[in-house]
Amino acid sequence: METIDKTLWATDSYQTAMLNFFEDFKSRPELMDSLQSLIQSQPALRDGDHHWRPISTDGTDFGFIDLDNVRGARVIAWSRILDDQELVCAINLDAQNQAAVYVTIDDDIHPIGGKALRMFSSDQSPAELNVEVRNGKCIRMTIPPRGLVIYN
């Protein structure tokens, strides 16, 4: 499993950004209901192995978010894998701007030229994404401001 520097989680910037995201998300009951239904219907979201996913704004340089030293996107990405199913999740912590990032996905599960289908989005986001060969394999996600997206 990929690791992220534990000091990241303790920073005031991270805690404030996550708190703002959760407060905004919880204030929209229709999103909470939709997400809860998806979690109940998808065993991978409940029981799958958790993997942090590196991101890139340019498709070349991949890494994990650093909110105190961020250049470009303020996105946290992870996936849940159960059997041969990967659900890729990402949160955009920026309240003003949508984020367009490449997110690393499991190289063995996804075929070259395959598609990832949107399962959930808190606002408008593409219905399907192409699997690309970058950092192994990846998909390019467009995530609404302070939004959550999940792709299969």
Query: Taking 50 as the threshold, does the pLDDT of residue 138 lie above it?
Result: yes
**Structural domain total, the chain:** 1
Which residue, chain included where needed, has tokens 């470009």? 72
> Which CATH number goes with the domain that contains 67?
2.60.40.1180
Q: What pLDDT sits at residue 18?
A: 78
- Tens of pLDDT, residues 62-111: 988 755 554 556 889 999 999 999 999 999 988 899 999 999 999 999 99
Greatest mean pLDDT among 16-20, 27-31, 40-44 lies in 40-44
Kindly state whether residue 1 falls inside one of the protein's structural domains.
no
Query: Taking 50 as the threshold, does the pLDDT of residue 50 lie above it?
Result: yes
Kindly state whether residue 138 falls inside one of the protein's structural domains.
yes
Kindly state whether residue 137 falls inside one of the protein's structural domains.
yes
Kindly state whether residue 116 falls inside one of the protein's structural domains.
yes
Sign of CA dihedral 106, 104, 88, 46: positive
pTM of the full structure: 0.86
Angle, CA of 10, 47 and 51, to the nearest 5°: 45
Q: Which residue has the higher pLDDT, 33 or 6?
A: 33
The single-letter code of the amino acid at 64 is F
Kindly state whether residue 35 falls inside one of the protein's structural domains.
yes
In this prediction, residues 120-125 reach a mean pLDDT of: 91
Domain holding 65, by residue range, is: 6-151
Q: What pLDDT sits at residue 149?
A: 96
